[in-house]
Amino acid sequence: MYFKKNFNKSFNILLLRILIIFVFILVSFFIIIPLLPLFLKSFSDNKNNFIGLENFINYIQNPSLTQSFINSLKVAITTTFFSVLIGFIYAYALTRTRLPLKKFFNTFSLFSLYIPPLAVAIGLIYIFGKQGLITQGFFGTIPGFDINLYGFNGIIIGEIFYCFPQALIILVSALNLSDQRLYEAAESLKASPLRKFLTITLPNIKYGLMNSFFICFILSFTDFGVPKVVGGNFNVLATDIYKQVVGQQNFAMGATISIYLLVPSILAFLIDKNFQKNEASLISGKSIPFKPRKNLIVDSIMFIFCSLILILVIGVFSSIVLASLIKIWPYDISLSLQNFRFSNVAGNGYEPYFNTVFMSIYTAIFGTIFVFFTAYLVEKFKPLKKIRMLIYFFSTLPIAIPGLVLGLSYILFFNKPSFSVPFLDFQIFNPFSLLYGTMGILVLANIIHFFTVCFISATTTLKQIDKEFEEVSESLKVPFYKTFLRITIPLSLPTILEIGSYYFVNSMITVSAIIFLYPAKIPVSSVSIVNMDDAGDTASAAAMSTLIVLTSLFVRLIYEFTSRNVSKKSSVWINPLET
């Protein structure tokens, strides 16, 4: 017979399997398993006795709580409609018209991504509040106008600010994938502009459109920051959870409402996922990008529309800055920096600010590493297919888990030193409880809260990198981790930087995931904005918001600068991702 090669077992494959299983365990423990104590809690009373569906029944029978559910739906549907509409028109202007100053509009359109929803709401107070610039007609110089900010109106305006850039990003990329030839063909068949729009444009972007509906729905259905600040007595589910947990110490009811918040989000998520499954690229590689033609009427209308949107966005930001600089609005409008002192107001001086900056740096570093490595293992290898598919599914799930729900489930999961095994007198040590009360749990919550978007963008990039690189490396006896470091990472560097900056900015502005979670010893700035607003120190809240926005913008500038350098360096590879 033949000599049998005696080293059939490959160390690399073994290592790979171990890594995949390891990542699987991590995503399970960080995404799925913490939800279990939340579910359990929703079936228990406050003394941890099992009471079945009683909480849910109590909830349905409490008219003020069910009203919140209806309110949340109203907010979500209205916001989604307007955000997608505005996002679509703006995106259309950017991609399909000869909008003047397009670059400017493009850059500044995403400006509101760097303003925390909380800060948007605070800005709105200074514009539309009882003493707001517009309500009082710019300190009485022109007739004022009261939009009745506190309540539904304020929430809707704030949420649109928050959601419209998200819709915009999705729709711009959907609209960018166009084929000039289709329009030329339609023109040669004498199709009217409306017909072209209905038969070419809309079908081409239907997945993007659906996706932006879904994103805006979930964001506005679950957002906490805006209703917290300008909601007045208009209760929504998110503020209810906060009130139940914080005001009434009723964790069981908080958990129950969380389920009511979670279920529609997950449903929306599944519908979208199912819908996107059918997506097949209608645009072939040979398509010619659409080149908009000059149209004076359309271009001017778009210019006016986009300018209005930008004026609003910049107006909100300016009013935040202005509010932070004015001594006592509206009685003493001299400028001063006293609101930046934070010494006698809720929230421990500058400590929360620096904590937040460091939390965001840690999130950016560890989050990027974790997300990219997870995507890499899922995307690039063959072993353990089922487990990799599960990792993929778990990784796409966090976008449907509202921040408050994530925070509440983390607190319930991570503060338990051990778990008792049902029916057995046996305790399992919970190693993750060591994270409780440290910066680590905040970083982890942020990593998971924003995981999906980062994961999808990492996966998309990795998909574009030739799968044969791994096979060639194998044939050259180079272990996968060397190829990962030497080839995959350099090729993905633009995306990696993008993920890092996304993580940083979102960690700076987020509040919902960490408001229940921040350790007493580590106050964070977005929570202190809530506290300052709660305590009535609105000007200081505006000052802290200003700091957050400026920091985010500063980091974004560093990112732009670095990524320009990176792309200069890699320009010799000439778009290596396009094959």
Distance CA 514, CA 440 (A): 12
Under the binding rule (CB under 8 A), the answer on residue 568 touching other proteins is: no
**Which H/E stretch holds residue 195?**
helix 193-196
Site string for other proteins, 40-79 (x = CB under 8 A): ----------------------xxxx-xx--x--------
CB of 155 to other proteins, least distance (A): 11
Question: Quick check: helix, strand or coil at residue 124?
Answer: helix
Task: Please select the residue that binds other proteins; options are 17, 102, 243, 327, rule is CB under 8 A.
Answer: 243
Task: Please select the residue that binds other proteins; options are 148, 199, 307, 460, rule is CB under 8 A.
Answer: 148
CB of 309 to other proteins, least distance (A): 27
323-327 own/partner pairs: CB under 8 Å, 24+ apart: 323/122, 323/123, 323/125, 323/126, 323/538, 323/539, 323/542, 324/539, 324/540, 324/542, 324/543, 324/545, 324/546, 326/539
Under the binding rule (CB under 8 A), the answer on residue 143 touching other proteins is: no
Using CB under 8 A, count the residues that bind other proteins: 110
Determine the interface stretch with other proteins among 96-104, 159-167, 211-219, 322-330 (rule: CB under 8 A).
Answer: 322-330
At 77, the amino acid letter reads: I
Determine the interface stretch with other proteins among 25-33, 86-94, 294-302, 355-363 (rule: CB under 8 A).
Answer: 355-363
Determine the interface stretch with other proteins among 31-39, 145-153, 189-197, 277-285 (rule: CB under 8 A).
Answer: 145-153
Question: Quick check: helix, strand or coil at residue 373?
Answer: helix
Residue number with CB closer to other proteins (65 or 175): 65
Give me 574's structure tokens.
């000439």
Under the binding rule (CB under 8 A), the answer on residue 37 touching other proteins is: no
Distance CA 80, CA 219 (A): 9
Under the binding rule (CB under 8 A), the answer on residue 137 touching other proteins is: no
Residue 448: CB atoms within 10 Å: 24
Residue number with CB closer to other proteins (135 or 178): 135
Whether the Cβ atoms of residue 529 and residue 511 lie closer than 8 Å to each other: yes
**Which H/E stretch holds residue 121?**
helix 117-128
Task: Please select the residue that binds other proteins; options are 34, 117, 123, 129, rule is CB under 8 A.
Answer: 129
Under the binding rule (CB under 8 A), the answer on residue 355 touching other proteins is: yes
Under the binding rule (CB under 8 A), the answer on residue 565 touching other proteins is: yes
Under the binding rule (CB under 8 A), the answer on residue 566 touching other proteins is: yes
C-alpha closest to that of 172 among 82, 80, 110: 110
Under the binding rule (CB under 8 A), the answer on residue 141 touching other proteins is: no
Determine the interface stretch with other proteins among 191-199, 214-222, 299-307, 526-534 (rule: CB under 8 A).
Answer: 526-534
Residue number with CB closer to other proteins (365 or 456): 365
State the Cα angle at 350 between 159 and 415, rounded to 5°: 70
Residues 447-476 that bind other proteins (CB under 8 A): 466, 468-469, 471-476
420 CB burial (10 A radius; 0-12, 13-18, 19+): exposed
Distance CA 137, CA 294 (A): 39
CB of 215 to other proteins, least distance (A): 26
Whether the Cβ atoms of residue 534 and residue 111 lie closer than 8 Å to each other: no
Whether the Cβ atoms of residue 160 and residue 82 lie closer than 8 Å to each other: yes
Under the binding rule (CB under 8 A), the answer on residue 478 touching other proteins is: yes
366 CB burial (10 A radius; 0-12, 13-18, 19+): middle
Residues 394-423 that bind other proteins (CB under 8 A): 411, 415-417
What are the phi and psi torsion angles at 520 (to 5°)? -50, -35
Cis peptide before 490 (omega within 30 of 0): no
Under the binding rule (CB under 8 A), the answer on residue 545 touching other proteins is: no
C-alpha 401, offset from chain centre:
11
Task: Please select the residue that binds other proteins; options are 100, 137, 289, 536, rule is CB under 8 A.
Answer: 536
Task: Please select the residue that binds other proteins; options are 10, 107, 276, 460, rule is CB under 8 A.
Answer: 10
Residue number with CB closer to other proteins (97 or 355): 355
Under the binding rule (CB under 8 A), the answer on residue 535 touching other proteins is: yes
Task: Please select the residue that binds other proteins; options are 52, 143, 247, 422, rule is CB under 8 A.
Answer: 247
Residue number with CB closer to other proteins (112 or 551): 551
Under the binding rule (CB under 8 A), the answer on residue 576 touching other proteins is: yes
Under the binding rule (CB under 8 A), the answer on residue 186 touching other proteins is: no
Task: Please select the residue that binds other proteins; options are 2, 274, 294, 334, rule is CB under 8 A.
Answer: 2
Determine the interface stretch with other proteins among 104-112, 263-271, 294-302, 568-576 (rule: CB under 8 A).
Answer: 568-576
Whether the Cβ atoms of residue 323 and residue 215 lie closer than 8 Å to each other: no
Residues 357-386 that bind other proteins (CB under 8 A): 358, 361-362, 365
Distance CA 335, CA 151 (A): 30
Residues 259-278 that bind other proteins (CB under 8 A): none
Residue 529: CB atoms within 10 Å: 33
Under the binding rule (CB under 8 A), the answer on residue 331 touching other proteins is: yes
